[in-house]
Amino acid sequence: MLEFYCRAANRLVAFRAAYILLFVINIGFICYALIFPDSAAFDVGLLPALLTFLWLLLLFLFCQMFGSVGDLTTQSKGLLKKSKQKLKRFIYGSFALLFSLLSIAVVLLSIRSLNVWLQT
């Protein structure tokens, strides 16, 4: 699972400028909708903008966390280097599990929020 996340993050790094631009545009829309709450943007687009913000933040964290992992399968000779390698792999594995749970939570939150948004 960790190797899959590393490969996916390295492939998504090429699109970093695009999702950072979307992130900035989305923050601008959210600020506009909150500054002028009487506008139609507040009623129609605030919930999708918040969900997009959440997904882009998750994508950014994913690329930052797993994009620079390096090689975790190298066999080292010394006891200290082996234990350091195992500790590093354990920490990144914990982050991968945490990221998986966070992604599931965001998917469930998105589904529930979009159901509420579509009913109004």
| Contacts for 5 with CB less than 8 Å, ≥ 6 apart | 62, 66, 96, 99
Query: And the tokens for 45?
Result: 């687009």
- CA 77 vs. chain centroid, Å, equals 36
Looking at the structure of the chain, the number of domains it has is 1
In angstroms, the CA 47 to CA 52 distance is: 9
| Cα dihedral 73→74→77→83 (10° resolution) | -40
Contact 23, 54 (CB under 8 A): no
The model carries a pTM of: 0.79
* pLDDT, average across residues 108-117: 90
Residue 110: the pLDDT is: 93
Range of the domain at 36: 2-119
Query: And the tokens for 103?
Result: 């992604």
Burial class (CB in 10 A: 0-12, 13-18, 19+), 34: exposed
Q: Which residue has the higher pLDDT, 67 or 94?
A: 94
Residue 30: the pLDDT is: 86
Residue 8: the pLDDT is: 87
Q: What is the mean pLDDT of the chain?
A: 85
- Over the stretch 35-79, which tens digit does the pLDDT of each residue have? 887 766 667 778 888 899 999 999 988 888 888 776 666 676 788
Contact 75, 98 (CB under 8 A): no
> How many beta carbons lie within 10 A of that of residue 51, not counting itself?
17
